[in-house]
Every structure is written in structure tokens, then in C-alpha cells.
């Protein structure tokens, strides 16, 4: 089975490929259902072309999955020459109105039907096949047994299903709630996730029974039951005066990949073009290892640590959705996605040879100059300066020293990294690597001087006792994370 990962920008596309995706899906601005994702435009096609060369055999799927108005079709036609510069293997579409245009202008690209089209039966699959589609991204409301029936009916049609990520409470994501409450349309990919919000069970302020009503709401005894669906009950539990009855759990199918394979699924899709680099890398890696174990390329015991790492990626409670029992999809949860880890830095290329020597020389030159300036100072001024450096060690000028068996890498900081603490790396090649204080240093990549801390916006290199593979990420424990507590996301 193909592993298909999300890529909201060219950076995430690299990590999707590096961490094991067979294919990745991107969006193009104005024509994708994820307008909040960075999406691809301008000259990024050059970087995408380079990545396809760096990772030969990997595929690129492009989502053109909005419902097109006439003016948007005009815009698509006006941008055709630009789009043709991308090495696109397949287009993901829901609007059949653009199918003839894509078939004419991109004769070598496949057509994949978007999950937004809600295709969940074999007759619809046959119809889309007659229109030239080679793959169906099945509606999320489908079961394992229904997938098997479709595959048996149309065996030469590729079937793709979602296996991991956020689920929408609305049918195939067709929701007006966000647009109604915030003016941000989910159908344009700008969903504010209002279904995740907490709602208050309220009454008139002067009601004598208000406190009794709240007590009942917090008792766990209340449920919602639709008139025509007797027996299907949705729990309504109010905690801290608010309740979430619309917030669906996240989908997680990593423990059930053999069932999807046996049902005839050809591609496993991870949700999340709006998610972080860390999410893309870690989730892709976990499913890559699980698939490799399923194919006998490594043992289940070898894959297990990577799968366990899914708990260290921002997520809600999980469910198997509609695959086995519809009641699983009915279960709700509260709060935003959360993780005890934060992505601290992306590790770039190794700094070697002349670049390393130049940085070493620069650092020592600056150190020597600072010592000369210190010696030239009046004794009292020098004493004051030295006392100041004791109080403010960040102001010290100290060059790094060469160490045998150590390696230096470019380091793109994102969150605070402090020298003297343990740090942890993850990569495509190893599950995790904890490096204690004393086995690594932070270096200013412009001055060659040692740093006590770094974060986003500071030119940084990391010097350490370990060889790191391409695509390595540095993570640290999030100081604001509290186990069991839902944080305010600043919605």
C-alpha cells in the first residue's frame, strides 16, 4: 500500500519524503481546500522539482478540490502554464467541471476523486472510472466491509482512505458552522474548527432552577437523541460550565492496517496539510514503520517504538471512525490537540572542511580581540566588566574548541534551546536520541562564538558528539504542558 502524507509547504514536503512517504499531496493557492496552509505558489516549483530528484520514485499529488465558480475556472486557465512547471503526478478534484480541462492540459497526470465528492458506493466508482478517474479517495463515512465490496466490484480502480488525523463532525466536511460563527468558510478551507469549541448549557439568569439544571448537566446523565433515531444517544457532559458535543475524536488506524490491506485499499492517507513539520515527520515515520512491519521488512518489535511515538505528537483522543462501527465515530472529545513536546529546531547540513575552519577562525579572532580590549581597560573598569560577566554570563565572549569525534550542523531554531540541558533528536533513521549536557554546544553560525541559548531568528549551529542523518529534528519538552490539562489555544 502507498503511504500518502500531507505537505502544506515545500519544507513539509521534504520531511514527508524524508520520513518515509511514498507520495505527498500539496495544494495550490486559491484552488485548494486548505487556504490556511501555506500552499505552493511563485517559484517553489523549482524546489519541488529538486525534491523529486532528491527522492526518486516519490509521487506528488496536487489538490484542486474546491467547488469551482466560473471566475475560478478562468483563474485556473490563466495559471495553466505556471502549474505545468510542477512535477505533478495526479490531481485530486471534486468538481467534475474541470476534468476535461485537466485531461487536455495534463495528459500524463492521473485524476483522483477527492473525498469531498463523498463517493461511498461501487456504482459511483464505476461512473467516475468512465470519466477517466484512476483513483477514488473514499468518503470518510465508509466501512471496511463497504470498501471490500467496492474493490470486488471495480478491482482495477485504486482506492485511497484516510487513516490518521482530525475528523469532521459534518458529512464529508460539508459544514456551515464555522462560516456562521466566524465568517470563515470550511468549504474554502478556512475552518475555525468551531466544533471543537466548548458550549455552555444556559438558562435565564433569574430562573430558580438554573443551578439544578447545571447540576444535571454535570451529572453525566444527559444525552441527545434524534427523534427518528431511537437508541442513538450522544452524551452531553458539562465540565467547568461548558460542554463539547460536536468535537469528534481523531482518527487512528495504525493498529488495523492489515484489515485495510485485505479490504483492497491501495493508498493510506494522513490528514494534516495545516499541521506542523513535527506532526508530518513523526506520523509519516510511524506509519512507514508499521507498513514495513506488515510487509515483513522489519519485526513488529522493531516498529513498536516508532508507533508509540504517535502519543508524543499533538492529538486528541482517537477512534477508528466509521471503519468498524458507526458508534465509534459518534464519540466526542474535548479540547485542542496537544503534546508534551515542542519542535525546537530543524537540523540542516553538516558544516565541514573550509566552512568549519572559517567559523573556528572567526570565533577565535573575536575572542582574541575581546581579550585585548579587556587588557587595555583601566583596572577598575576591567574589574567592573568581569563582575558584570559573572552576573550576566550571556555577555561572555567564548570561542568554541575543536573536539575529536564531534560534528557541527546548521540549526534552524524554532523554540528556546538552552545550553546545559538535555536535548533530544528524532530522525528517519533512529527513533530518538537523548544527548545530555556536556555532549553538545550551541554556536553562533556567523561569529563562531558559543551561545548559552538560542531560539527562532538566531543564526545557529549545533556542535555535538553524534552523527546526525539528513532530516533530523530537535525536540524539547514543552514547559507549558501539563499532563491531563487542556490548554487555551488562543482561539
**pLDDT (tens digit, 9 = 90+) per residue, 422-449?**
999 999 999 999 999 999 999 999 999 9
Beta bridge partners of 211: none
Q: Above 90 in pLDDT, residue 389?
A: no
- Mean pLDDT of all residues in 403-407: 97
Distance between CA atoms of 323 and 98, rounded to whole angstroms? Answer: 31
Rounded (5°) CA angle 295-298-303: 100
**pLDDT (tens digit, 9 = 90+) per residue, 346-364?**
999 999 999 999 999 999 9
Percentage of the chain beyond pLDDT 70 is: 79
Task: State the pLDDT at residue 491.
Answer: 39
Grid coordinates of 62 = 496536487
Mean pLDDT lowest for which of 73-82, 280-289, 333-342?
A: 333-342
Residue 490 pLDDT grade (very low, low, confident, very high; cuts 50, 70, 90): very low
Give the 3-state secondary structure of residue 122. Answer: helix
Residue 271 pLDDT grade (very low, low, confident, very high; cuts 50, 70, 90): very high
- Mean pLDDT of all residues in 194-212: 61
- Mean pLDDT of all residues in 165-170: 75
Task: State the pLDDT at residue 356.
Answer: 98
Q: Are 265 and 256 in contact (CB under 8 A)?
A: no
Task: State the pLDDT at residue 224.
Answer: 65
**pLDDT (tens digit, 9 = 90+) per residue, 233-242?**
666 655 554 4
345 or 185, greater pLDDT:
345
Grid coordinates of 176 = 456551515
Distance between CA atoms of 464 and 466, rounded to whole angstroms? Answer: 6
- Give the mean pLDDT of the chain: 86
- The upper half-sphere exposure of residue 335, i.e. CA atoms within 13 Å in the direction of its Cβ, equals 15
Cα torsion through 414, 415, 417, 421, rounded to 10: -130
Task: State the pLDDT at residue 325.
Answer: 86
**pLDDT (tens digit, 9 = 90+) per residue, 36-54?**
555 566 688 899 999 999 9
Q: Above 70 in pLDDT, residue 147?
A: yes
Residue 479 pLDDT grade (very low, low, confident, very high; cuts 50, 70, 90): confident
Grid coordinates of 209 = 432552577
Mean pLDDT lowest for which of 117-131, 203-217, 402-416, 452-466?
A: 203-217
Distance between CA atoms of 136 and 140, rounded to whole angstroms? Answer: 12
124 or 275, greater pLDDT:
124
The number of helix segments (H) and strand segments (E) in the chain equals 15, 22
Where does residue 155 rank: exposed (0-12), middle (13-18), buried (19+ CB within 10 A)?
A: exposed
Grid coordinates of 355 = 566552512
- Mean pLDDT of all residues in 303-327: 89
Instruction: Dihedral sign for Cα 180, 182, 183, 188, please.
Output: negative
Task: State the pLDDT at residue 409.
Answer: 98
> Which residue has 491501495 as its cell numbers?
266
- The upper half-sphere exposure of residue 266, i.e. CA atoms within 13 Å in the direction of its Cβ, equals 16
Counted residue by residue, the chain has a size of 491
Amino acid at each position: 500500500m502507498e503511504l500518502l502524507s500531507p505537505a502544506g509547504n515545500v519544507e513539509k514536503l521534504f520531511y514527508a519524503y524524508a520520513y518515509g512517504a511514498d507520495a505527498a499531496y500539496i495544494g495550490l493557492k486559491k484552488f485548494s481546500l486548505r487556504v490556511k496552509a501555506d500552499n505552493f505558489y511563485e517559484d517553489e516549483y523549482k524546489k519541488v522539482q529538486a525534491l523529486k530528484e532528491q527522492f526518486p520514485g516519490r509521487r506528488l499529488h496536487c489538490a484542486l478540490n474546491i467547488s469551482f465558480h466560473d471566475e475560478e475556472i478562468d483563474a485556473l486557465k490563466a495559471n495553466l502554464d505556471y502549474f505545468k512547471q510542477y512535477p505533478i503526478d495526479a490531481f485530486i478534484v471534486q468538481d467534475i467541471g474541470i476534468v476535461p480541462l485537466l485531461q487536455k492540459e495534463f495528459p500524463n497526470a492521473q485524476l483522483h476523486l477527492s473525498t469531498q465528492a463523498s463517493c461511498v458506493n461501487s456504482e459511483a466508482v464505476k461512473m467516475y472510472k468512465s470519466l477517466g478517474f484512476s483513483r477514488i479517495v473514499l468518503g470518510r463515512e465508509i466501512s471496511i466491509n463497504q470498501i471490500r465490496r467496492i474493490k470486488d466490484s471495480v478491482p482495477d480502480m485504486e482506492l485511497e482512505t484516510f487513516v490518521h488525523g482530525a475528523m469532521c463532525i459534518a458529512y464529508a466536511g460539508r459544514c456551515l458552522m464555522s462560516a456562521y460563527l466566524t465568517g470563515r468558510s470550511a468549504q474554502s478551507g478556512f475552518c475555525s474548527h468551531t466544533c471543537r469549541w466548548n458550549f455552555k448549557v444556559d438558562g435565564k439568569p433569574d430562573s430558580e432552577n438554573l443551578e439544578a439544571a447545571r447540576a444535571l448537566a454535570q451529572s453525566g446523565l444527559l444525552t441527545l437523541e434524534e427523534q427518528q433515531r431511537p437508541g442513538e444517544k450522544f452524551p452531553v457532559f458539562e465540565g467547568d460550565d461548558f460542554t463539547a458535543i460536536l468535537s469528534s475524536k481523531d482518527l487512528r488506524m495504525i493498529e488495523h492496517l492489515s484489515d485495510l490491506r485485505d479490504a483492497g485499499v491501495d493508498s493510506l492517507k494522513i490528514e494534516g496539510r495545516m499541521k506542523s513539520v513535527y506532526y508530518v515527520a513523526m506520523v509519516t515515520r510511524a506509519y512507514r514503520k508499521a507498513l514495513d512491519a506488515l510487509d515483513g521488512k522489519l519485526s513488529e518489535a522493531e516498529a513498536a517504538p516508532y508507533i508509540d511515538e504517535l502519543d508524543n505528537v499533538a492529538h486528541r483522543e482517537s477512534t477508528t471512525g466509521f471503519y468498524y462501527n458507526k458508534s465509534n465515530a459518534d464519540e466526542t472529545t474535548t479540547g485542542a490537540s496537544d503534546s508534551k513536546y515542542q519542535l525546537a529546531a530543524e537540523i540542516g547540513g553538516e558544516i565541514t572542511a573550509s566552512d568549519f575552519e572559517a567559523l573556528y577562525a572567526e570565533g577565535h579572532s573575536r575572542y582574541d580581540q575581546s581579550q585585548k580590549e579587556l587588557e587595555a581597560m583601566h583596572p577598575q573598569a576591567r574589574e567592573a566588566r568581569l563582575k558584570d560577566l559573572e552576573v550576566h554570563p550571556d555577555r561572555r565572549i567564548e570561542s568554541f574548541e575543536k573536539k575529536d569525534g564531534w560534528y557541527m550542523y546548521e540549526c534552524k531554531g524554532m523554540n528556546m534551546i538552552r545550553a546545559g540541558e538535555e536535548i533530544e533528536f528524532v530522525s528517519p533513521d533512529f527513533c530518538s536520541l537523548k544527548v545530555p549536557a556536556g555532549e553538545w554546544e550551541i554556536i553562533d553560525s556567523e561569529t563562531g562564538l558559543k551561545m548559552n541559548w538560542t531560539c527562532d531568528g538566531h543564526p545557529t549551529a549545533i556542535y555535538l558528539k553524534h552523527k546526525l542523518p539528513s532530516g533530523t529534528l530537535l525536540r524539547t519538552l514543552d514547559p507549558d504542558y501539563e499532563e491531563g490539562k487542556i490548554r487555551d489555544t488562543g482561539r
